[in-house]
Amino acid sequence: MTQAVVASSTIVGVEAIGVEVQVDVSAGLPAFTIVGLGDAAVLEARDRVRAAMRACGYDFPNARVTVNLAPAPVRKHGTGFDLPIALGVLAATGQVPRAATEAVAVGELALDGGVRPVPGLLAHAIAAQRAGRPLLIATEALPVVGAVPDVSARPLARLSGLRQGLPDETSTRAPCLRTAGAGPDLAEVHDQPAAKRALEIAAAGGLGVLFVGPPGAGKTMLARRLPGILPPLTAEEALQTAVVHSVAGLDVESVLAGERPFCAPHHTASTAGLVGGGSPPRPGEASLAHNGVLFLDEVPEFSPAALQALRQPLEDGFLTLVRAEGRVRYPARFALVAAMNPCPCGFLGDLQRPCTCPPALVDRYRARIGGPLMDRIDMTLRVDRIDPRCLLTGGADEPSATVRRRVAAARECTRAREGDRTATSGAALLRACALDATSRSAVERAARTHRLSGRGVTRLLRVARTIADLDGSDAVTIRHILEASCYRAIS
């Protein structure tokens, strides 16, 4: 009776937790069983492992093979256990050196013995690095894993490569962070100076912004350019975001290059699609937009339940899903951009086309964006279709790089004043604004004429503080308050 133990890991949320793959080969009727709450993909490993071993010239033992995935009560998903199971069987039957089992192995096997990458490799790499063990993965996955500092990656192209023990460590080069955004440029948006200004303020202050305008006004075009005027991701942020993308099985190259993610879920998105869920739980769009931009186009058309579910990430920057199999936590700190038509037909306030909506319908349509979301929208602005003549002539519009520099300077200004904690509470914000008598009376006047609620005044101050930062001003003055009052919610 021989046994072997191989370390592996499984994804829970966006973290990989260690799993011990215990293999027992003993006399008895030939059988191959896997226990330890694996899903269908895990159980199918039996056929892949058997075929891959034969294809690489190994013998599959004509004995009773039992595999246990410990800790047994945790549900395990996916095809990443193919490689550790094969490695365990090989080690237990003495076909590869025992030393090969010291690595954390994660990978899917092809029937010809090829090793393929699996989703969530970045999370597995972080777990292996924390455990201080080498990581045995597919050769293809090497560039991705290189983003994790100090990980000892052992690339394996085919199962046959294990005969002499673990492959040698291959130096993984961290992908260089690009400094300039590669996304669409703000210079491609002609005119619309007020909308661009609003976007700049939103980028500088991390504020939520809502564009209201008829179809074809360029709301989506504007939103897509927000990532480009935000400062590029730092290495740490890039890794955080890339892990989420990796777990979701998406390409992580652009994120690792420092590009901020831009997620624009369709308005038919389910709650699970927006905030994560399903079985096994997968991160939703809100988490994929971590450190980037979440764009909700046609926001009144989203299901109220899905919008309501955004309350926690908007407040806390992360999401906790509680399911039968346990709690998972996804990061979700994003800049929110929303867009809507002024009315269901879209042409309310349009000069050329009459609006065909009954007035009561317009009110109902507006009321569909409920409280929690509206509370997080600090700025609202009307955008209109621009004159086609401007499109054709195309003046000199500012490129994203110029705006990005101003945004970075404003953010620096904020950091110098407040440190890493931004003033969110009313009292701290009021202190940060350093209002004098004239600006105080301007705030009072704005609150009175526009009938602002307490929350409305806080939003006004927050926007005014950001405008002052863009201005390089220590105190919020009347000019900042005046401009900020133009971005208040459209009632």
Partner 1 sequence: MRFVLRRGEPGYPAHLELTPRPPRVLYGFGDPGALRPALAIIGSRKATPYGLDCAAVFARCAADAGVPVVSGAAMGCDLAAHRATLDAGGTTVAVLGCGADVDYPARARDVLATLREGRGAVVSEFPWGMPPARGHFPARNRIIAGLAYAVLVVEAALPSGTFSTADHALEAGRDVLAVPGSVFFHGSAGCNRLIRQGAAPISCIEDLLDSLAGCGLIETVRGAGRDASGPTPLSPASSDPVLCALLAQPTAPDALATALSMDASELLRAVALLEADGRIARYPDGRYGPCLPR
Residues forming the site for partner 1 (CB under 8 A): 191-197, 212-213, 342-343, 348-349, 351-355, 359-360, 362, 380-384, 386-387, 390, 442, 445-446, 449, 467, 479, 482-483, 485-486, 490-491
Would you say 199 or 243 has its CB closer to partner 1? 199
Would you say 105 or 217 has its CB closer to partner 1? 217
Residues in contact with 435: Cβ distance below 8 Å, sequence separation at least 6, in sequence order: 443, 475, 476
Would you say 290 or 488 has its CB closer to partner 1? 488
Would you say 425 or 491 has its CB closer to partner 1? 491
Q: Phi/psi zone of residue 70: left (φ > 0), alpha (ψ -120 to 50 degrees), beta? A: beta
Output the smallest distance, CB 323 to partner 1, in A.
42
Q: What is the CA radius of gyration of the chain?
A: 27
Would you say 147 or 442 has its CB closer to partner 1? 442
Output the smallest distance, CB 454 to partner 1, in A.
20
Output the smallest distance, CB 390 to partner 1, in A.
7
Output the smallest distance, CB 231 to partner 1, in A.
21
Would you say 392 or 427 has its CB closer to partner 1? 392
Would you say 99 or 361 has its CB closer to partner 1? 361
Would you say 34 or 195 has its CB closer to partner 1? 195
Output the smallest distance, CB 349 to partner 1, in A.
3
Output the smallest distance, CB 289 to partner 1, in A.
26
Would you say 36 or 213 has its CB closer to partner 1? 213
Q: What is the 3-state secondary structure (H, E, C) of the chain?
A: CEEEEEEEEEEECCEEEEEEEEEEEECCCCEEEEECCECHHHHCHHHHHHHHHHHCCCCCCCCEEEEEEECCCCCECCCCCHHHHHHHHHHHCCCCCHHHHHCEECCEECCCCEEECCCCHHHHHHHHHHHCCCEEEEHHHHHHHCCCCCCCEEEECEHHHHCCCCCCCCCCCCCCCCCCCCCCCHHHCCCCHHHHHHHHHHHHHCCEEEEECCCCCCHHHHHHCHHHHCCCCCHHHHHHHHHHHHHCCCCCHHHHCCCCCEECCCCCCCHHHHHCECCCCECCHHHHCCCCEEEECCHHHCCHHHHHCCHHHHHHCEEEEEECCEEEEEECCCEEEEEECCCCCCCCCCCCCCCCCCHHHHHHHHHCCCHHHHHHEEEEEECCCCCHHHHHHCCCCCCHHHHHHHHHHHHHHHHHHHCCCCCCCHHHHHHHHCCCHHHHHHHHHHHHHCCCCHHHHHHHHHHHHHHHHHHCCCCCCHHHHHHHHCCCCCC
Output the smallest distance, CB 358 to partner 1, in A.
8
Q: Distance between CA 334 and CA 264 in Å, rounded? A: 12
Would you say 165 or 399 has its CB closer to partner 1? 399
Would you say 1 or 390 has its CB closer to partner 1? 390
Please state, as a whole number, how many other Cβ atoms lie within 10 Å of the Cβ of residue 402: 13
Q: Token digits for 85?
A: 């199971």
Output the smallest distance, CB 393 to partner 1, in A.
12
Output the smallest distance, CB 263 to partner 1, in A.
26
Output the smallest distance, CB 486 to partner 1, in A.
4
- Whether 358 and 343 have beta carbons less than 8 Å apart is answered as no
Output the smallest distance, CB 478 to partner 1, in A.
9
Output the smallest distance, CB 191 to partner 1, in A.
5
Would you say 417 or 445 has its CB closer to partner 1? 445
In 3D, which of 205, 164, 156 has the Cα closest to residue 415? 205
